[in-house]
Every structure is written in structure tokens, then in C-alpha cells.
Amino acid sequence: MSITFYEKTKVFSLQTKNSVWQMMVSKYGHLLHLYYGNKIPEGELSYLVRGINRGFSGAPYEAGEDRGYSLDTYPQEISTFGVGDYRESCLHVVHEDGSQMLELLYDSCRIWQGKYDLPGLPAVWAGQEEAQTLEIVLKDKASPVEVVLYYGVLEKQDVITRACQIRNRGAGIWLERALSACLDIQRNDLEMITFYGRHTMERSLERGMCRHGKIQADSMRGVSSHQQNPFVILCEEGAKEEWGECYGMSLIYSGSFLAQAEVDQLDQTRFVMGIHPQGFRWRLEKGETFTAPEVIFSYSERGYGKLSGNFHRLYRENLMRSKYRDQRRPVLINNWEATEFHFTEEGLVSLAQDAKELGVELFVMDDGWFGGRDHDLCGLGDWKANPAKLPNGVEGLARKIHGLGMQFGIWIEPEMVNEDSDLFRAHPEWCLRAPGRTPNRERGQLVLDMSNSQVRDYLYESIGGILKQAQADYVKWDMNRNLSDVWSSACPADRQGEIGHRYVLGVYELMERFVSHFPDILWEGCSGGGGRFDAGILYYMPQIWCSDNTDAIERIFIQYGTSFGYPVSSMGAHVSVSPNLQTGRRTSLGTRATVAMAGAFGYELDTRKLSREERQLVKGQIRWYKQYQELIFGGDYYRLTDAEENREFAAWQFVSRDQKASVVSAVCLHARSNPLFWRVRLKGLKEEGWYQVREERMTDEGPLEGKDNETSKRECLICPGSALMYAGVNLPVFWGDYESVRYLVEEVRHQAE
């Protein structure tokens, strides 16, 4: 059993393979946190809770003269506003009489086999034998409000999930704040690692000590955002890939969020996470329930490399639902950087036919195919083919692409509308905008009110009809601005504080309809690249366009930061032109492919402009990726270099789950005169196993030694896994910036003679 309740001491113990989470019901009925960390096989830890009389930290009335008992100093499972805990609260309720207190006391618990789910929200899922659920009911002692805490324990995955529901059994109340999780840790030596950025430069790692007061990562943009990500790590000071205690927290939510750490007066660290309270206000009438989104917790005692592996496996096995989670995904070509808005059906077919000759399997038609869409200031919302570009409609183009033996994909941006569109002229009230005010615009776009079911029905019927007629195989779902002017004409004035969250629920409802009715489509999320790269989207779509920045060197750092919380199979990554359209940087075709192959691989260029030599290289790249995609997606991923510290070269590795095969990639970031010798230590191999190591180095002119794929015939290194992991592998002396090298590592039966 992964969940144990010690009846005598009223202690709950949640055990995973390598960790334990314990909490207890106090003598006055409050739910106190005891411990989360390295596994303790047996026993309960109630002795850890101590009290002492402290000034200006009051006690509950029932405690009488027991002034050492204070909610302001005790570690708690859920913190509430107004009852003597002056640290950050998870819940803030306003009652009908205007009072704002909520004191939650233990009422009951239930343990069952399997994993709870959340109505209308994405959540980790698991079979009956994979997980257990603990449900704890807490009730306010002075009102009919009750809170249900859910804990899902996935023992094998080393994961504990947490969610909560607020139920109102009496007169209406207002929720001013409804965060999902609280973790009180009795230590003050933790760093907080967050992932910040901007459009085309997402998820850069930043770390700093938690301190007295509060530090946070958050988004108030209506989406999880380019600027911060709803995945954070708390770790002991100086933790690295293979050293140090680490706590990972991921919010399964795609809207505005808050992740905050606070060191209190007793040097305890409180972490809270959930929907951002800014602009949030939810009316809960009698009999209604509000469900807060799920937070995933995982703990590692051996650095954040192990922590990342826990999240990668969980997402692949217990969050993604698409059939493409376990299937090989097609190599695609997207026409955007080749044509932008300026294309014809004939031109698209020509591009697809050329790409097909190189081995590309999926052709994706990007923006510009609908309404009067000749530029980005018009047409959004008019989901019907532009007859000037597609005289035979989308289905006519799709027939021709399918006739080539290729799959067909299409770009959509359902959540947006241009003022210059038939939809806006017919239904201006379907936008998020306040009466009497001119709205904020970006690229001439306004945001459709996804909380309005009429809007969702229109989008499903218009876009769904096209997908059905075209027999589409792939859809890229984009979103190219953040939310502002959040006001809905379909909602009364006193409920406008609900619209931000209802927007997210509406997006999820529409996504669920699409993916349920079109289960054979490969769906890819996008928001100006990585502006909505979060676990909520991955529940519906197995991959997300990682960034609009396709520069290979910039992508190394973007994909590095993304990998801390998300698997490589979730990262859309393409080869684009050189010089790059975003940076002007020149990199070899080989290096561009090496970087893009650490993700869901494709091309974003005009293959018709490639030279004969480049075409041969592309054919070889596609053959190689098809051969190794299962290893890349299904294996274990290791960061071999620290992208924040090592600016000389970057290296990463994939290892098959049976440890029999591995792929190692490295890119030179800074070539130097009189260079140093570089070596990289591999990971994840069998220490006692013997491995053959083959080197592949590629440039735009082809392999540096041998021709095409004949590099595999070069002399190989054969040595034990322990040597590769502890002594390492020599990298070549690079000539010029941005050269790349790849090593194929395969287990052999016997040691070398």
C-alpha cells in the first residue's frame, strides 16, 4: 500500500518508490504537514511538530492557554486567510455577511485504488493498479464551506499529485483566492529555480536563494506565457544534475498562475502554487463546487537530472493521451518560412512534391489559407478557404497532398479574431472587451470569448468541418497574443472576475471536443512558439512548438531549459534556413539537424532551393531520424553540460530504457585558437557492459570522413560503460563555431580483444 493512515496518531503517510510525504491531524483538528523527502520505509513522524509561545502569533480559541499552538508557526497542508496564519494563504473566502475567515478542521478521509480525476480540467491519469488516491475532507467550523484535498500517489513514477475542491453547502460565497497546493518545508537553505524568457527566447534557467519575504514566478497574461513557466524547482543550495535534494512542482494549467516561495520568521519555507489571484473572483452559490487545477510533486535526492527523468516519464506515460505518444511521428515540412502568406495551391503542391522526394512524410499548410488572409491584420475567425489561393478548397489541396503519398496538416488560430473579418462584423460581442473602452490590440487581433459556448460551437463546427472534409492528419493550434480587456458580454457584471479562468476552461472544453472526435490527428500546440508550453496543453496535444526561434544555437539553450520539466518528445523542433531569419546566424545543415533531432523533427524551409549536396544530406538526416526516433522519444534524456556555465560546447544524450543503445550529440559554441581538449562523460549506461562507440561528424559538404552514412564504417572505440561514464569520451578538435558531432553507442557482447 502506498497510502497508510496511522489511526492512533492520525498520521497519513504517502509512499513512492524513493520518497515519502507525511501529514497529521492535530489535537485541535488542523491538518499539519510533517515531512516530504527521502524515503523512510516505516513509521510516522508526528514528533517533528513542536510548539513554543511566540509573540504576535496567536492561537485558535480552542487552544486556550496553549499559546505554543499557532497556525502562524505550524507547517500546514492548506493555509487559509483571516484565522491567524499571516503567511501566504491558499484560500481566501468572503462570506455573505462580509467576513473573510475560513478555519478548516479535519472531518473524514477515504483511500481508494486508482487515481482521481478533475471535472473540466486536465490531470494525471493512471490505471487501478498504478495509483492510489487519498481524499481528505476539511470543514469550516463556522460556515457550511468544506474543502476536499485530493492526493494521488503514483509509486512507481515517484510522483504525488495534489488538487482541491471548495464546496459550498450554504449561502453564497466569493472565492478571492483558490490556490491548489501548499508545501511547508522546515528548512531555509533552499534555492528556487525558475524558467524565464520572452517571445523567441523562452525558458532560460534562473536560480536564487529563497529568503525572508517572498519570491515568485507568475503570469498575469491569461496564459502560462513566454515570460515564466508553471514548472519550478526548490533545491538545496548548489544542487546540480547528480547532486542535491530537489523538489519539482508542475501546475497542470494553461492560464495565469502563481508559484511562490516564502521563508518565514522561523526559517521555514512555504511554497504555494495555483491560479493567480490577480483579477480572480469566483461566485460559489449553494450546492456548487469549485475545482482548482492539479499540481504534480516529485522529489529527488540525487539532483535535478533524476527529477527531470521523473517528470519526463510521467508525462509520456500518465499525462499525454494521444495515440502518437507511443507511435513514431512523421517527419514534416511547414511552408511558413518558405512562403509566409504568399502562396498558391500549385506552389504548395510543388513544395510538397519536392519534400516528398527527400523523405518528408507530412506537409503542413501554415497561416494564410482562409478568409481574406493576405497579411496578419485580417481574416482571423473566417474559417473557410481563400478561393484566390485554394480554388479547390482545403479538401482539394489535401487530396493532392494525399495523392503524393504524404500526410496533410493545417494551421489554425481558433481563439483569435481580426476586426477586419466577417466574424467580427457579425459578432463583435464575441470578443473580450469592456463596453465604452477601446481594446488593446496585437497584430490587429482581438481575443474571442472562449467562456462563451456559442463561440466554441462556432469554432468547432467551422474548423471541424474543414478537418473532416480534408481528412487532415495534423493540426497546429496557435495563439498569437496574451489576454487583456478581459470582459465578457455573456456574463453578468458581478461575475466578471470568473472570466479569466472560464476562458481556460473553455479552451480545454474545445480541445477535448476536437481531440475526442479526431483521435487520429496529430495535434501540436503553439502560442507564438512556446508561450503556452505547459502540462495542461500536453494533456490534449503530445507536442508543442517549442519556440518561434529556429536558430540552432539559440534553440540549444531553449530546449535545454525546457528539458528540466518536459520530455523531448513534446518539443516541436525544425531545421530552417541559414542565415537564420531571426538572428542572421549561419550554421551548417548538419548542426541544424543535430539540434532539431532533439525533439519532434521537421523542416521549415524551401527544399526546392537546396543544392544537390544538401539534398543528399537531408535524405540522410531523415533516414537517420526515422531509425532513432523511438530511442530519442522513448529513452532517457541526459543533459551532459550545463548551458548556463559551459559556453564552449553543449552536449546531450539519449539512452534506451534497456541501456543497450545511446545517441550522444555535441555542438561547438565557441571555436578557439590553440584549443583545449574537451571530454564529455556519458550517463545511463551499464557500468559492467561493453559498448562500441562510433563518431559521426557532419558539415554542409557532408561527413568530414567517409561519404554519406559511411561514417559508421570508421574505426570504433570499444570500452566498458564505466569508462565512458567516469573517464568520458574525447570530443574532436572543432574547426569553426557551431560544428557538431554525434556518437552512436551500442552494447556489444564481448570485450575487445
The residues annotated with a catalytic role in the active site are 534, 614
Phi/psi for 275 (5° steps) reads -65, 135
Cβ–Cβ under 8 Å, residues 318 and 154: yes
Cα-based angle 30, 10, 74 (whole degrees, multiple of 5): 35
What are the residues whose beta carbons fall under 8 Å from the beta carbon of 525, sequence distance 6 or more? 477, 532, 533, 537, 538, 540, 541, 543, 544, 545
Distance CA 39, CA 742 (A): 38
Cβ–Cβ under 8 Å, residues 195 and 229: yes
| Maximum Cα interatomic distance, the chain, rounded to a whole number of Å | 87
State which H helix or E strand residue 565 sits in.
none
Closest CA to 486 of 449, 457, 453, 455: 449
What are the residues whose beta carbons fall under 8 Å from the beta carbon of 43, sequence distance 6 or more? none
Cα-based angle 441, 444, 449 (whole degrees, multiple of 5): 65
- Range list of H helices, 551-696: 552-562, 589-596, 612-634
Phi/psi for 346 (5° steps) reads -60, -40
Cβ–Cβ under 8 Å, residues 566 and 312: yes
Closest CA to 595 of 668, 529, 661, 522: 668
> For the CA atoms of 469, 325, 553, 609, what is the dihedral angle to 10 degrees?
-40
SS3 393: helix
Distance CA 267, CA 170 (A): 39
Q: Which three cell numbers stand for residue 161?
A: 499529485
Bridge partners (DSSP) of residue 697 are: 741
Residue 28 identity (one-letter amino acid) = Y
Task: Please count the CA atoms within 13 angstroms of the CA of 467 that sit on its side-chain side.
Answer: 24
What are the residues whose beta carbons fall under 8 Å from the beta carbon of 90, sequence distance 6 or more? 78, 79, 80, 164, 177, 178, 179, 180, 181, 182, 272, 274
